[in-house]
Structure 1
Amino acid sequence: MTSTDLPTDVPGKPGEPAGGGHDKGPRRTRRWGRAAALCAVAVALLLLGTRLSLLPGLGDIFGEKTQDRSGPAVLKSIRDMSRYEAAAGNFQVVVDLEKDTKFLPDAIRGSRTLYVGAGTVGASVDLGDVTDGGVVVNKDRTTAELRLPHAVLGKAALDPDRSYAVSKQRGLFDRIGDFFSDNPGSEQAVNKLAAQHIGEAAKESGLTRRAEKNTTAMLQGLLGSLGFKEVTVHYGDAGR
C-alpha cells in the first residue's frame, strides 16, 4: 500500500469521533450554557424570596420577621403656639397619576396609579398677632371690642390609615426596575399630589369662615365668664 492509500481518519479516544477530539468547542459551549442557566435560576430564586410577601400565605416560608431598630426620637426645637385651632376639615381625593414616555407604548415604559388620599386641613386664628390697639375695653369693663387677623389654613396632613392605592399599572421596564428598587419617588409623587388637591379643596370649603365664627364664640364665652356683657370681634388687620 502506498502512502496515498493510507486512511485519513485517525481513531480517537473511546466515545470520541475520529479526528482527535474536534468537539471540545461545542462541549465547552454547553458547559457555559448550563452555568449561565444555574446563575439565572439562583437570581430568580433570590428575587422571588424578596418578593414572597406579595403573595398571601407565603410570606413565612423563609421565616421573615420585622424588627424595629430605630433610634430614639430627638427633640430639635420647641416653639410657643398662640394660634387657636378653630376648625378642621376632613377631605378625600382620588388621584389618577399617569406617566408616559415618548415613542414607547405604555406596555413597555409607563405607569398609571389610582390612589385614594384622605387627610385633614386645620384653620386657625393667631391670637398672638394682636396689637394693643386691637383690644378696646370700656371703663366699666362691661364691653370689649377685639380686632383679630383673618383665619388661615394649615397644610394638608394625609392620614396613612385612610389613604391607599387602588391600582397601579406599570410597563415592562418599570416592573423590572421595581424588582431592584421600591421606587419611593413614585409614592411620594402621589402623596404630594393628594395633599395639593386637598389643600385646594380646603380653600373653597369655607373653612376659614367657620374658624372665625368659632373663634368669636369662644372669646365671647370666655370674656362673658369674666363679667363682660358685650363682646364684639372683628377680623381684618389686627389693629394695625
Structure 2
Amino acid sequence: MTSSIRRIPRRMPGWAKVLTAFVLVLVVLFAGVRLAVLPGLRDLFGTETQDRSGPALLKSIQDMSRYDAASGNFQVVVDLEKDAKYLPDVLHGSRTLYVGAGTVDAYVDLGRLGGNDVTVDADRTSATLRLPHARLGKPALDPDRSYAVSKQRGLLDRLGDLFSDNPNSEQAVQKLAVRHIGEAAKDSGLTARAETNTTDMLQGLLSSLGFKEVHITYRS
C-alpha cells in the first residue's frame, strides 16, 4: 500500500506581506525616477498635453479712474518648512525653497476728486489741485520669473501625492511670496515716487493747456 504525502503551502506571515507591499511601492517610485532620467524612455512613456479649454467669458467691465504712477519689481526667497511632531522628517515633513518674483503698482485715484479739490482763478492762468495720497495695489506674482529651487518631502508625503488631486502644489509658498512682496513694497518709497510722478504729469498737462501756475497738494 502506497501513500502520497501532499505538501501544504506555507502562508506568508502578515508582517512579510506588509514588507513586500512596501518594497513594491519603493520600486515603483524609483522606477518613475529612472524613467524620467534615462534618455529615450521619457519620450517612449511621455504624455501628450492638449488644451481643451473653452473661450474666456467677459463677466464685467469696470471703469478705471486711477493713475498708475510707479511700479516696483521685487524678488523674495521663501524657505517654508513643515515638520511633524512625533515623526522624523524622512517619513513625514516637507521643506520648499521657492524664488518669488512680482510687481506692485502705486497709484493715485483721480476719481476721488471732489468739487472743492480743484480751484481755477478767473483768468484761467492758475490752478490748484488737492489730490488723495497714493496707494499701493495688490502684489502680482510673475509665474515666468518664479520657480521652486528645491523640494524635500518625507516618504508619507510622497505616497500621499499619488492619491492627491493637486500633487506638488506650490500654493502655500506662493501666498508667502505675495505677502512678503507686499510688505516690502510698504517700505520701498513707491507711494512717494507715485505722488512725484503724478505731480509732474498734471503740471505738464495743465501747462500745455495754458495754465502758467499749477499747485498740487495731497490731502490726508
The TM tier, using the shorter chain, reads: 0.7 to 0.9
SS of 1:71's equivalent in the other structure is coil
CA distance in 1, matches of 2:167, 2:134: 35
- Aligned: 1:129 with 2:129: no
CA distance in 1, matches of 2:30, 2:50: 21
Unaligned runs of 5+ in 1: 1-6
- Taking only aligned residues, the RMSD between alpha carbons, in angstroms, comes to 2.8
CA 1:167–1:11: 2 relative to 1, 3 Å: same
| Count of residue correspondences | 212
Residue 229 of structure 1: aligned partner: 212
1:11-51 superposed Cα distances (whole Å, 9 cap, x missing partner): 22xxxx3xxx2x2443xx58xx9xxx89x9699669956x7
- Comparing 170-179 with 156-165, which one deviates more in the overlay? 170-179
- Larger Cα Rg: Structure 1 or Structure 2? 1
TM-aligned CA deviation for residue 175 of structure 1:
1.6
What SS is found at the alignment partner of 1:144? strand
Q: What amino acid is aligned across from residue 44 of structure 2 in structure 1?
A: I
Deviation of residue 184 (structure 1)? 5.5
Question: Does residue 1:67 correspond to 2:59, yes or no?
Answer: no
Which secondary structure does the structure 2 equivalent of 1:115 belong to? strand
Which runs of 5 or more structure 2 residues have no equivalent in the other structure?
A: none
Instruction: Note closer, same or farther for the CA distance 1:53–1:84 as it changes in structure 2 (3 Å cut).
Output: farther
The answer on whether the counterparts of 2:102 and 2:141 sit within 8 Å (CA) in structure 1 is yes
The CA deviation at 1:177 is 1.4
TM-score by length of 1: 0.79
CA contact (8 A) 1:52 1:59 kept: no
SS of alignment partner, residue 96 of structure 2: strand
Q: Match for residue 168 of structure 1?
A: 151
**1:144 alignment partner in structure 2:** 127
